[in-house]
Amino acid sequence: MEEYNPWWSGEKDEDYLKWRNARIRWIPSIVNRITLSPFALHFIYGPRQVGKTTAIKIMINELLKKHDAKSIFYYSCDELSDYKELGEVLDSYYTLRKTWGIKRAFIFLDEITFVTEWWRAIKARIDRGAFKNDVIVITGSASIELMKQKEFFPGRRGKGKDYIMLPLSFSEYVELIEKIKVFRGEIEEIDENFLRNGIYKEKLKVAFQKYIETGGFPLPIIDFFQYGKISFSTFKTYLDWLRGDWLKAGKNEKYMKEVISYIIRARGTPISWNNIASETSINSPNTARSYVETLESTFAAKILYFLSQKVDYKKNKKIHFTDPLFYYVFSNYCRESIDREAMIEGMAASIISRKCPVYYWRNSTEVDIICNKKEKIGFEITWGIKKWKKPRIIKKAYLLNRDNIHVYLASI
């Protein structure tokens, strides 16, 4: 337990020092958004290696300036198997804090998702008042599972909230890495922000080329600025955590590799669960669906369903990877070539999905991305010469091409 909490003995935390000494670093926005006042049960979810642990360590460093070091408890739950082991860890700290006279604690439980029935250990101790003066921050890397499990805490969250940490969007990348203060906001503000950001058009174009090479994850960004390319070890790091999470979710790696390979070859065209099943060793459409949904729940993929007057879940789906990094990792993994336009369309869909639910539409013409809010707003992505006419089903439409996409995405 002491190895996870070096500040108890007056030592510095290695993760924090590594971040502090990095040539390229930024403070994740969640550090300034989260409120650490009791009682609170917060959930932070997002893909692995997106900076959740770094954000926690920055929070801890700030807390250490005002609070007793022994009132701050951190534990990485990767090696725990079930709620019983988690309960033992929590009880051990509870016993220690009593001997230390700690009445208020800050408890950080990192990567809890795959601890079987972890919620039982937390809920039981909340119910008996063990955490009544505390702040608990729980992180996880599988959105569907964590969203299901947090429902076991009705009326037990106090001031707690849900937070999501995703890779940097292009506008965040521009501000934090390139130090360009752009105008950005909601989808409804995109026209105004696009005009304002026009003065940065050439700078944004250069930044966009870099972003396409790195995506928004920390390690590739740091690699690129230090070495001019993403290192093999970074690719391996991200592939290893993905494979580990697939296995924890009960998925066969061979089948997953075949599914990913088929998605890459589909190049952003709509496909069905039957298509995937018939082109892989899986055979079952329902099983194919579960593999793609696992990719989505670990934030590696985004499924766009067909939208006309209503969402049609039976029609073919567009399946995109959510960050350029995943295209490079999966391309190397499956030995498939990347379609650049499909990658950029996926990146745009992922960025727009942070502001509204996203779908697609196709008939005699096509809308790559439909933002479905009070009114339908369409986005068509093209990397070449393309004539396109807005269909009547959408109120407003934008054609994003190589001359303007960087300004539009910087405005969201």
The pLDDT value given to residue 370: 96
The pLDDT value given to residue 258: 97
The pLDDT value given to residue 386: 67
H-only helix segments in 308-376: 324-334, 340-353
Q: Which residues of the chain have pLDDT under 70?
A: 142-147, 385-386
Global confidence as pTM: 0.91
Q: Going from the N-terminus, what domains does the chain have, and what CATH number goes with each?
A: 2-164 (3.40.50.300), 170-410 (no CATH)
Bond from prior residue into 39 cis (ω within 30 degrees of 0): yes
Sequence length of the chain is: 412
CA-CA distances (angstroms) from residue 310 to 293, 305, 383, 393?
A: 21, 10, 29, 11
The pLDDT value given to residue 143: 62
The pLDDT value given to residue 331: 96
Q: How far apart are CA 19 and CA 17, in angstroms?
A: 5
